[in-house]
Amino acid sequence: MRREMDGKIMKKPAFLMIIILALIVSGCNYPGYEQPVDEDEDTMATEIAKILTGTPVEIQLSATADIDQEEPDAAPDATDTPEPVVQEDTPTPTTTFTPTITLTPTLSDTDPVLTLGTPDWVDTMANGNNWYTVKDIYTSVKVEDGFLKLTAESDLYGWRLSWPFLEDFYLEAKIQSPKCEGNDHYGVMFRVPNVSNPKQGYLFAITCDGRYSLLKWDDPKLTFIENWTSHESIKKGADTQNTLGIMAKGSNIALYINGVKVKETSDNAFSAGGFGFFVKRYNVQNLSLWADQIRYWENP
């Protein structure tokens, strides 16, 4: 870079510019950090803004987190279960996979959707605008073919959160897994008080073999509010879609599966927060949650 000053040509040190740019980029690694940006550098400012404003950060549950009750039981013949095969590349579900979706579903009499009217917010997964899709060591995400596809990259809980912040609501998500076995589980995370540095929240989970649970995470402790329970409303196995619903009003939390109320409980640990999806693998190396749609109604 050169500039004219008193008739002389002045050279600005190149290394000074490199240091300035490095400081700007490194600042992006810290949620909430606001690094001043030259207004003329539109492209860089746009990328930094994406990270600093509403971009969720994935924090896994500690491998040493306390669990007050037991995790789902292992498969009956666990000793005969072969070790998962670690593949070099993350497998992608075949393009011939066709989700089981009824175009004109018959809703349960207890389904809140029957009386709630038009939702306040809907994401049909037409694009990834509401989600952070950069791969990390815990999960990978891509949005394609009308699905958000969240894949486990480690044995720890991994999740992705969206940007809306809710207090009282009914939230509904249509999810499935192209391949899962036994106690592999996945579901919806909600009332996460700090989506930029999540260390608290609730997890509504279902297993591939037809059980559900409600867990409370208050770092580093993970506890069951509702332990693993079988329910006939859950569609078991892979390639089956289940609709999970959460009605949260104050400390009251009601859980729905395919429109059927399966549990109503009370907990006042977290009164508001963000939401998203999570996965926890046990049997399938690359367990993946496919979300077809998520929507909510505020103050139902």
Task: Tell me the domains of the chain and their CATH numbers.
Answer: 2-52 (no CATH), 66-298 (2.60.120.560)
Q: Is 50 exceeded by the pLDDT of residue 254?
A: yes
The 3-class SS string of 67-136 reads: ECCCCCCCCCCHHHCCCCCCCCCCCCCCCCCCCCCCCCCCCCCCCCHHHHCCCCEEECCCCCCCCCCCCC
User: Is pLDDT of 32 > 60?
Assistant: no
Beta bridge partners of 170: 247, 297
Across 197-216, average pLDDT: 97
User: What secondary structure letter does DSSP report for 258?
Assistant: T
Q: Mean pLDDT over all residues of the chain? A: 76
pLDDT band at 50 (very low <50, low <70, confident <90, very high): very low
- Confidence check: pLDDT of 8 > 70: no
Pick the more confident residue, 35 or 115: 115
What is the distance of C-alpha 279 from the center of its chain?
8
Alpha-carbon distance 80 to 78, whole Å? 5
- How large a percentage of the chain has pLDDT more than 90? 63
Report how many helices (DSSP H) and strands (DSSP E) the chain contains, helices first: 3, 17
What's the pLDDT tens digit per position in 90-149? Answer: 333 333 344 444 444 567 888 999 999 999 999 999 999 999 999 999 999 999 999 999
**Hey, what are 257's tokens?**
């599966």
Give the pLDDT band (50/70/90) at residue 227: very high
Residue 60 vs residue 232, higher pLDDT:
232
Q: Judge contact between 132 and 143, C-beta under 8 A.
A: no
- Of the listed ranges 47-61, 142-156, 246-260, the one predicted with least confidence: 47-61
At residue 171, what is the residue type? L
End-to-end alpha carbon distance in the chain:
60
With contact defined as beta carbons under 8 Å apart, do 200 and 190 qualify?
no
Query: What does the pLDDT read at residue 299?
Result: 97
Residue 67 is predicted with a pLDDT of 45
Classify residue 131 as left (phi > 0), alpha (psi -120 to 50) or beta.
beta
Calculate the CA dihedral of residues 89, 91, 92, 93 and round it to 10 degrees. Answer: 170
**Does 288 or 95 have the greater pLDDT score?**
288
Find the mean pLDDT for residues 16-36: 36
> What global pTM score does this model have?
0.68
What does the pLDDT read at residue 105? Answer: 57
Q: Which two tokens stand for residue 124?
A: 């049909």
Which pLDDT score is estimated for 109? 86
- Residue 154 scores a pLDDT above 70: yes
Please determine, for residue 64, whether its predicted confidence score (pLDDT) is greater than 50: no
What is the DSSP secondary structure assignment for residue 154, as one 8-state letter? S
pLDDT, average across residues 80-89:
34
Supply the DSSP symbol for 157.
-
